[in-house]
């Protein structure tokens, strides 16, 4: 399902030229939705820059460090998302960054520091106790964001309920 640019621009301000989009990620599940949205925006801006970011909460103990190298995993994640987007937008300026901190603060700080025009958030796959503890990143980012925020909805929820997302082991 393609998003029509005239449907989305009122959400981000018709008079605002979008040149810098911050894309916080915690997985690769919603890259297709992000690609569709960016494809539509590309038609409205000839100098679109993307920054894919991941916020890594520093491990609280040495035990957490033994479970894997969070920096390497985070770098692999943003690189994988960049590779997928670069495959669809080979001439697009796409940067990656991994920052330490809680997602809310990291997203807001990065958007301010980079002077983002838009934050593009997808739903996350945390559920149950994890969702209760973490809360909703989107709900905490929106009130304090220095720019407009667009929340992506999985195409599978718009078309066929949650079938595609559930195939990937995530329930929203």
Return the structure tokens found at 145: 């964001």
* Rounded-to-integer distance, Cα 35 and Cα 39, Å: 6
pLDDT for the residue numbered 88: 87
Assign 62 a pLDDT band (cuts: 50, 70, 90): very low
Domain ranges for the chain, please list them. 14-157
Our separate counts of H helices and E strands in the chain read 9, 5
Q: What's the pTM value of the predicted model, to 2 decimals?
A: 0.73
Count CA within 13 A, CB hemisphere, residue 94: 21
> By CB neighbour count within 10 A (0-12 exposed, 13-18 middle, 19+ buried), where does 1 fall?
exposed
Fold of 14-157: Rossmann fold (3.40.50)
Among 70, 29, 16, 77, smallest CA distance to 52 is for: 77
pLDDT in tens, 34-44: 888 888 776 55
């Amino acid at each position: 399902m393609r998003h029509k640019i005239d449907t989305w621009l009122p959400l981000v301000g018709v008079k605002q030229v979008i040149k810098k989009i911050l894309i916080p990620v915690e997985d690769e599940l919603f890259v297709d939705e992000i690609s569709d949205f960016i494809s539509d925006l590309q038609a409205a801006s000839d100098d679109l820059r993307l920054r894919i970011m991941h916020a890594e909460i520093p491990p609280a103990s040495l035990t957490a460090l033994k479970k894997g190298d969070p920096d390497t995993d985070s770098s692999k994640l943003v690189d994988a998302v960049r590779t997928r987007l670069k495959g669809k937008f080979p001439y697009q300026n796409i940067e990656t960054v991994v920052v330490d901190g809680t997602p809310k603060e990291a997203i807001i700080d990065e958007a301010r520091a980079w002077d983002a025009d838009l934050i593009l958030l997808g739903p996350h796959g945390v559920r149950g106790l994890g969702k209760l503890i973490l809360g909703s990143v989107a709900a905490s980012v929106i009130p304090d964001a220095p720019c407009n925020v667009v929340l992506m909805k999985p195409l599978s929820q718009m078309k066929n309920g949650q079938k595609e997302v559930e195939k990937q082991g995530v329930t929203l």
